[in-house]
Amino acid sequence: QVTLRESGPALVKPTQTLTLTCTLSGISVSSPDTRVNWVRQPPGKALEWLARIDGNDDTFFSPSLRTRLTISKDASKNQVVLTLTDLDPVDTGTYFCARMHPSYLAFDIWGQGTMVTVSS
């Protein structure tokens, strides 16, 4: 059974850097078929795709956030790490990691999400 679980701070201050971790179970972060995405959702609003990393280390970023985002993986811990710099209160929301299905490519497995509040 494949599961994803997000973890990270619940509260961060403006201008700080956010680091979130997605821990995979049931699949290897280094497998060629593994593609992990980060998606966020401000309270009561729509979903926004942020970034993706593949098992072969290819990375993709939202054009609007490209300069602030970094995505990487830690094979020893089977984790994907997302960092978002220069935080602003508009970055407040729930951050999800989600797997892209190996063949049909939709996001078939999601973590439960982690809520992040940006406030001084």
Chain positions contacting other proteins, by CB under 8 A: 37, 39, 45-49, 52, 60-63, 96, 98, 100-101, 104-108, 110-113
Minimal distance, residue 114 CB to other proteins, in Å: 11
Based on CB atoms, which residue is closest to other proteins, 37 or 79? Answer: 37
Question: Do 116 and 13 contact (CB within 8 A), yes or no?
Answer: no
Minimal distance, residue 76 CB to other proteins, in Å: 26
Query: What are the DSSP calls for 7-59, one per residue?
Result: E--SEE-TT--EEEEEEEESS-TTSTT-EEEEEEE-TTS--EEEEEEETT--E
Based on CB atoms, which residue is closest to other proteins, 5 or 78? Answer: 5
Based on CB atoms, which residue is closest to other proteins, 111 or 118? Answer: 111
Cα atoms in the Cβ-side hemisphere of radius 13 Å centred on 88: 3
Based on CB atoms, which residue is closest to other proteins, 46 or 76? Answer: 46
| Helix, strand, coil % in the chain, rounded to nearest 5 | 0, 50, 45
User: H or E segment at 83?
Assistant: strand 79-84
Minimal distance, residue 9 CB to other proteins, in Å: 19
